[in-house]
Amino acid sequence: MTDVRRRVSLCCVATSPLLADLRAALGDDAVLTDPDLLRMHERDEADLCASATPLVVVRPRTTEEVSAVVRAAARHGAPLVPQGARTGLAGAANSVADAVVLSTVAMDRILEIDPVSRIAVVQPGVVNATLAGAVRREGLYYPPDPGSWESSTIGGNVSTNAGGMCCVKYGVTTEYVLGLEVVLASGEVLRTGRRTAKGVAGYDLTRLFVGSEGTLGVVTEVTVALRPAPEESLTLVAVFDSTAEAGAAVAQIAAKGLAPSLLELLDRTHLRAIEAYRPMGLRTDAQALLLAAVDTGSRAADDLARIAEVCEAAGADEVYAASDAVEAAALLQARRMAHPAMERFAAEAYPGGNGGLIIDDVAVPRGSLAALLDGVARVAAECGVPIGVVGHAGDGNMHPNIVVDRADPASLERGRRAFDEIMRLGLELGGTCTGEHGVGLLKRDWLAREIGPVGVRVHQAIKAALDPEGLFNPGKVL
Ligand SMILES: Cc1cc2nc3c(=O)[nH]c(=O)nc-3n(C[C@H](O)[C@H](O)[C@H](O)COP(=O)(O)OP(=O)(O)OC[C@H]3O[C@@H](n4cnc5c(N)ncnc54)[C@H](O)[C@@H]3O)c2cc1C
């Protein structure tokens, strides 16, 4: 764009009737058009997904302000993209051209913690770790713990139905969402669900909005269920010569009725990436490492010993327990570093730091985990791309991370082929195209294959009923 055209276009933006309406409703300080800030809000953490600079970023503080934003966007026919912390890994928070990005960062208040009903009520911009810490101080526990928990928001977690490491025992976000307040496309405010321990009134609209990735409405308040704080956990590490053996151990742990509070797998690529990123003494000669924890109180030592036996029987060449809580925390930290470590590994794998990651997210029945891991190794060899595997093995939920050279179209093409082959394999094994990251832009084709034409029609009917003008997060999910 020439300088003159840019000046004209910026001038039009500054005086647009939509911006005037937004400023009138929220005040100037909550309506942001600084070009650097707009660029910052263009996309989430997913590589290789389309995005465009928004027209404006707004930061409402209350439900009424969200309503006013939605009404203004609808009046002017502008798309509206809700954003939390933009840690998403499917492009679901990516802006489209001329969008109003509605950021929830200023809606960050914990409204209530009720230890008797064991619930908390929060605004959507509360960061997961802030809520977890606040309820911990009351002797309570909010289990969903995505790896991004120190930055991702409860609104984002709800809208992606986020998982995490504790989910193998405690379940994913949806298990903890009792009720929601949602601003609909009309600007009206819908309340779903309940505060009570039980309740079955009407359709389960709460679950409809959980995982809807900002396509059906803006979540403005969340009522979550809490649990009593768990017992201290004990942790072990099992080292394997093959990823498939580690996968077989996971199936056996489940078959024996054991209930670890954490069961994670890291393959050799990730072990090496983590050691290069921050040396921790991990066994980089291993093909796979399983990290398991139990929090069963007086039974914990016995349960850990039984998990160790299963791992040894499945072929582990070394099994050891963390000697104390400090070592256990360090092991957990190593697992949490998998993502940044792998990003660094990918960047350095190609000249000029051009390496990137296509992050996959596939879940299969636990009994098929070994077949999935073998299959991913086969896909890597056939497509000629490095693929590291990490994930929530206890849930059968793996993240094959495909390393590509962004500057080389042939490498990108091989990476995309590998991505598709892994999706195909996951579905063939009776799994799903996304265990926790969501559909976003990355997996729309695969969602359609997974749910079939009838499922697609029902999705479209729900979208049309709630958002007839296609205002919310266009192009995502379907
Ligand atoms: C290092 C790292 C580790 C991760 N580990 C995990 C993991 O273990 N498990 C997991 O599930 N995910 C994980 N993720 C992915 C990501 O953190 C989650 O998807 C998270 O829930 C996104 O939250 P967010 O606040 O960043 O939302 P965003 O990325 O900003 O948005 C995600 C989606 O939610 C919508 N949205 C956000 N807020 C609202 C709202 N108030 N109303 C309506 N729609 C809304 C957006 O439109 C978008 O569709 C990880 C990401 C990173 C970078």
Which pLDDT value is given to residue 48? 80
Paired sense of beta strands 355-359 and 288-294, if any: unpaired
Tell me whether residue 447 is in a domain. no
Domain harbouring 302, CATH code: 3.40.462.40
List, as one string, the DSSP characters of 73-90. Answer: HHHHT--EEEESSS--SS
Q: How far apart are CA 155 and CA 224, in angstroms?
A: 11
Task: Indicate if 274 and 392 belong to the same structural domain.
Answer: yes
Task: Indicate if 139 and 99 belong to the same structural domain.
Answer: no
For 44, other C-beta atoms within 10 Å of its C-beta total: 23
Which pLDDT value is given to residue 460? 98
Task: Indicate if 288 and 190 belong to the same structural domain.
Answer: no
For 382, other C-beta atoms within 10 Å of its C-beta total: 12
Establish whether residue 173 lines the binding site of ligand 1, counting it when its CB lies within 6 angstroms of any ligand atom. no
Establish whether residue 235 lines the binding site of ligand 1, counting it when its CB lies within 6 angstroms of any ligand atom. no
Which two three-digit tokens encode residue 452?
A: 């079939």
Asked whether the beta carbons of 193 and 35 are under 8 A apart, the reply is no
Establish whether residue 269 lines the binding site of ligand 1, counting it when its CB lies within 6 angstroms of any ligand atom. no
Task: Indicate if 188 and 300 belong to the same structural domain.
Answer: no
Task: Indicate if 300 and 417 belong to the same structural domain.
Answer: yes
b (16+ CB within 10 A) / e for 422-453 = bbebbbebebbbbbbbbbbbbbbebbbebbee
Q: How far apart are CA 53 and CA 31, in angstroms?
A: 15
Domain harbouring 55, CATH code: 3.30.43.10
Q: Which atom of ligand 1 is nearest to the CA of 44?
A: 29
Task: Indicate if 416 and 291 belong to the same structural domain.
Answer: yes
Q: How far apart are CA 194 and CA 179, in angstroms?
A: 5
> How close is the Cα of 353 to the center of ligand 1, in Å?
26
Domain boundary among 204, 228, 252: 228
CA dihedral 232, 237, 243, 245 (to 10 degrees): -90
Give the domain extent around 184. Answer: 110-228
Name which residue sits closest to atom 45 of ligand 1, judged by CA: 214
Which pLDDT value is given to residue 286? 96
Q: How far is CA 124 from CA 104, 224, 379, 438, in A?
A: 6, 11, 39, 18
Domain harbouring 121, CATH code: 3.30.465.10
Paired sense of beta strands 80-83 and 100-103, if any: parallel
Q: How far apart are CA 448 and CA 331, in angstroms?
A: 38
Task: Indicate if 89 and 116 belong to the same structural domain.
Answer: no
Tell me whether residue 402 is in a domain. yes
Which pLDDT value is given to residue 14? 53
Asked whether the beta carbons of 283 and 331 are under 8 A apart, the reply is no
Tell me whether residue 306 is in a domain. yes
Q: How far apart are CA 198 and CA 275, in angstroms?
A: 47
Establish whether residue 95 lines the binding site of ligand 1, counting it when its CB lies within 6 angstroms of any ligand atom. no
Q: From first to last of the 478 residues of the chain, give the pLDDT tens digit.
A: 444 444 444 444 556 999 999 999 999 999 999 999 999 999 999 988 999 999 999 999 999 999 999 999 999 999 999 999 999 999 999 999 999 999 999 999 999 999 999 999 999 999 999 999 999 999 999 999 999 999 999 999 999 999 999 999 999 999 999 999 999 999 999 999 999 999 999 999 999 999 999 999 999 999 999 999 999 999 999 999 999 999 999 999 999 999 999 999 999 999 999 999 999 999 999 999 999 999 999 999 999 999 999 999 999 999 999 999 999 999 999 999 999 999 999 999 998 989 999 999 999 999 999 999 999 999 999 999 999 999 999 999 999 999 999 999 999 999 999 999 999 999 999 999 999 999 999 999 999 999 999 999 999 999 999 999 999 999 999 9
Q: Which atom of ligand 1 is nearest to the CA of 145?
A: 8
Tell me whether residue 244 is in a domain. yes
Q: Which atom of ligand 1 is nearest to the CA of 92?
A: 49
Which pLDDT value is given to residue 15? 62
Domain boundary among 52, 86, 103: 103
> How close is the Cα of 84 to the center of ligand 1, in Å?
7
Best CA proximity match to 247, nearest among 266, 233, 261: 266
For 77, other C-beta atoms within 10 Å of its C-beta total: 10
Tell me whether residue 478 is in a domain. no
Task: Indicate if 276 and 407 belong to the same structural domain.
Answer: yes
Tell me whether residue 151 is in a domain. yes
Q: Which of 159, 339, 395 to mutate to test the pocket of ligand 1 (most atoms within 8 A of CB)?
A: 159
Q: How far apart are CA 163 and CA 178, in angstroms?
A: 17
Establish whether residue 211 lines the binding site of ligand 1, counting it when its CB lies within 6 angstroms of any ligand atom. no
Task: Indicate if 77 and 166 belong to the same structural domain.
Answer: no
Q: How many domains does the chain have?
A: 3
Task: Indicate if 165 and 51 belong to the same structural domain.
Answer: no
Asked whether the beta carbons of 307 and 314 are under 8 A apart, the reply is no
Task: Indicate if 380 and 416 belong to the same structural domain.
Answer: yes
Establish whether residue 390 lines the binding site of ligand 1, counting it when its CB lies within 6 angstroms of any ligand atom. no
Task: Indicate if 97 and 115 belong to the same structural domain.
Answer: no
Whole-prediction pTM: 0.95
